[in-house]
Structure 1
Amino acid sequence: GTTGKPTVVGYTEHDMDIWAEVMGRVFTMGGLTCKDLLHNATGYGLFTGGLGFHSAAERMKIAVIPSSTGFTSRQLLLLRDFGATAITGTPSFALHLAEKAKAEGYDIKKDFKLKVGFFGAEPASEGLKNEIANIWGIDYIEVYGLSEIIGPGVASSCKHSHLLHVNEDHFYPEIIDPKTGEVLEDGERGELVVTTLTKQGLPIIRYRTGDITSITRVPCRCGRTLCRIESIVGRSDDMLVINGVNVFPSQIEHVLSKIDDITINYQIIAQKKGYLDKLEIDIELSENFMSDDVNEFNQLKKKIEHELLNALYINVDVKLVAPRSIQRSEGKAIRVIDKRAN
């Protein structure tokens, strides 16, 4: 796991076969074949992500560069020199790689041969997915999983839709009301609950994931008939309640992705002002924003605050900061700092 105390999980040989099978489906949905070269920038060690991607790729006779996380400059060198056609990692690290590539003088579209990326481990808005896809010139495949269930491979998107196909022959999904536990109808948003159907080493019945999503059984254009879930909106424990209003980081990210002159590098700070909650969002300016005009700066700030008010129904104090001033993460991005309990 990547939240709280580390979770110990076990796999039998049968479980490893199942894991490779479902991850093979993920790669197939992304169009990979034995002719591809995979740059695996997902963590190895005791994290299930890197191992899941690696073992499935080997089963499919796909060559793997086991780069893991960190060492950004070296990652870019490996990507260019070996000519990887596919990459794995977190969305925030993919964005960080692109920023670093530009800073080091790479021409992203010419110097790299990537055609598809497999990203997961943290929620990503549609705007962030589109930005990563456009910057790198790749197809964006979202991969969903949990260590307690199998690791990555529980579900993934395909080239035809941002919805994620659930491998329901191995993992039975339900959506419940996170407060009452009541099972919700298809299309209603709630907490995802998963039951493992074929796992031996650590079988789990109705595991509460904490992830907020919804289920649809409308067939996908790709022809697959598995049920699908929407991209994870956020975790039930990541949700901020600001003066009685529920706010997810992905909602904020979606708004920011549609505004010019800023980036999607941001940090949310929740704190108390008297008895009321106060929400501040630090947002990095785009390097293309060159104006020294205070009025233009304030107009941009007010525009962002107005758009956030329309989307969230709460007032937000926006603080515009210099490019690359918010600390980057090589794993999951730290988007929320809640100071209200301090």
Structure 2
Amino acid sequence: MIFNPEHECMSTEARKKLQLANLKNLVEKLYTDVPFYRKKMDALGITSRDIHTLEDIEKLPFTTKDDLRENYPRGMLACPKDRIVEVHMSSGTTGKPVVDEYTQKDIDIWREAMARTLAGGGCTKDDIVQNCYGYGLFTGGPGAHYGAMNIGAEVLPMSSGNTARQLMVMQDFGTTMLTCTPSYALYMAEEAAEAGVDLKTLPLNKGCFGAEPWSENMRKEIEARYGMKAYDIYGLTEIIGPGVAFECEAQEGLHVNEDLFYPEIINPETGKHVPRGEKGELVFTTLTKEGTPLLRYRTRDITYFMDEPCSCGRTTVRMHRLFGRTDDMLIIRGVNVFPSQIEHALFGIEGTEPQYLIVVNRGDTHLDEVELQVEVKQEFFSDETKKLEALRTKIEGVMKSKLQIGLKVKLVEPKTIERSIGKAKRVIDNRKI
């Protein structure tokens, strides 16, 4: 389903014209109303009069998460405070939280972006959406809620946690669509199996999952356990929340709502644009935001653009599913490794459970040592030791082949690795301690 054909199927020429007009207005607004940006642009000798084409965006300054933290709480506000109707922010676990402030127009834009997102996953007004993203200052719960309401679907605002109740409501109310993190979807599937609930017999037939990187094989695992289609969605608090990009029924890349958010891919080292189709860091400019609009925000997420026409009919650019984040990337003995690469390789090995933990230490020889803890099916611990050893050897061989580094594999029993009702913690890097 295409929620807004006028904008999602707009011609490239018309979209570029709209983007350029909005970019010029944004630059003028930020220069006039936000001292932080005025100082940045003055240092570069740039004004809105220097923006003649979309390519001129490269002349403009970047914005980073550190910039947002340094301007906490309201240094990035671009409108009178009495126009703000809602505030969201990140957890702030590694410093000052990142704040996003919304005018009523911003909320309306968010509703639109998330309606497109959920519609991309097949949501219609006839669906019952069980929303298990967290509510509160986190953007996940409210974003999915707004989008489903905009479509006209029925929303069950469950938030995260209390899994037994989630399963009860799922059965009693006939949930047809699930929204949560992919790791929590797997956890619910585990709990359902333990409680004797066959998810495949329920009306639930689709889900939109995001807020953390997840691999193609993890998607297959979720789809197999629920008997449904699992769609990837993307967003971040700094830009608006969820609703920035989403998969359609083709499941071949995420459509960017680029009439609302202008995307770029840059070399994270140089800050320059990379050739189209080449992997790099994702950057977004909020073209229509009023409360806390951002110019060239560096997301730290790694992906690339896919320009081939999509079978769904949308003309918006697609980005490949995330490979990881520049700040999540592990450098192991000189080799760059993303946790999602390990996950993708691991989930293709029969006998393993979809739960793992990567522990990185610096050994006595000052070389990096990586232990991959993997949950395996219970029968391996009830069978011969040589069968368990064979599985461990197989996993180590697959990792060596796929990643070009040696990992020490530790097989653990089911339910050993701590579960999360939100974003899963997959890496413990003791080298930083």
Q: How does the TM-score come out when normalised to structure 1?
A: 0.97
How much does 1:139 deviate? 1.1
Aligned partners of 2:334, 2:308: CA distance in 1, in Å?
34
1:42 equivalenced with 2:168 (yes/no): no
Give the counterpart of 1:171 among 261, 269, 272.
261
Structure 2: gaps of 5 or more residues: 1-89
Structure-2 residue corresponding to 1:331 = 422
Cα separation, 2, equivalents of 1:164 and 1:313: 29
Alignment of 1:256 onto 2:346: yes
Letter in 1 for 2:343: E
- 1:1-342 counterparts in 2 under 5 A? 1=90, 4-5=94-95, 6-110=97-201, 112-274=202-364, 275-289=366-380, 291-342=382-433
User: Which structure: larger Rg?
Assistant: 2
Distance 2:379 2:246 in 1: 34
Q: Equivalents in 1 of 2:108, 2:379: separation in Å?
A: 49
* Aligned partners of 1:291 and 1:297 also within 8 Å: no
Letter in 2 for 1:265: Q
Q: Are the equivalent residues in 2 in contact too, given 1:90–1:331 (CA < 8 A)?
A: yes
| Contact 2:267/2:280 (<8 A) preserved | yes
Instruction: Tell me the alpha carbon deviations over residues 83-126 of structure 1, each in whole angstroms, 9 at most, x when there is no partner.
Output: 1100100000000000000001111212x211110100000000
Structure with more strand by fraction: 1
Assess if the C-alpha contact under 8 Å between 1:142 and 1:162 holds in 2: no
2:380 alignment partner, SS class: coil
Shift of 1:271: 0.2
> Of Structure 1 and Structure 2, which has the larger fraction of its residues in helix?
2
For residues 55-85 of structure 1, the C-alpha deviation after alignment (integer angstroms, 9 at most, x for no partner) is 1211222111110001011110010111110
1: CA distance between counterparts of 2:239 and 2:379?
Answer: 44
Q: Which amino acid aligns with 2:119?
A: T
Cα deviation for residue 241 of structure 1 reads: 0.5
Report how far residue 288 of structure 1 moved.
Answer: 4.7
Contact 1:118 1:141 in 2 (8 A): yes
Give secondary structure in 2 for the equivalent of 1:309: helix
1:21·1:56 contact (CA, 8 Å) conserved in 2? yes
What 5-or-longer segments of structure 1 have no aligned partner? none
Q: How many angstroms apart in 2 are the aligned matches of 1:261 and 1:122?
A: 25
Instruction: Measure how far apart 1:170 and its partner are.
Output: 0.6
Q: Which amino acid aligns with 2:422?
A: G
Give RMSD over aligned pairs: 1.1
Aligned to 1:117, the other structure's residue is in SS state strand
**TM-fit CA distance, 1:216:** 1.5
Deviations 1:156-210 (A, max 9, x none): 0011123100000011111111112121112111110001111111111100001
* Alpha-carbon distance, 1:295 to partner: 1.4
The one-letter amino acid paired with 2:432 is A
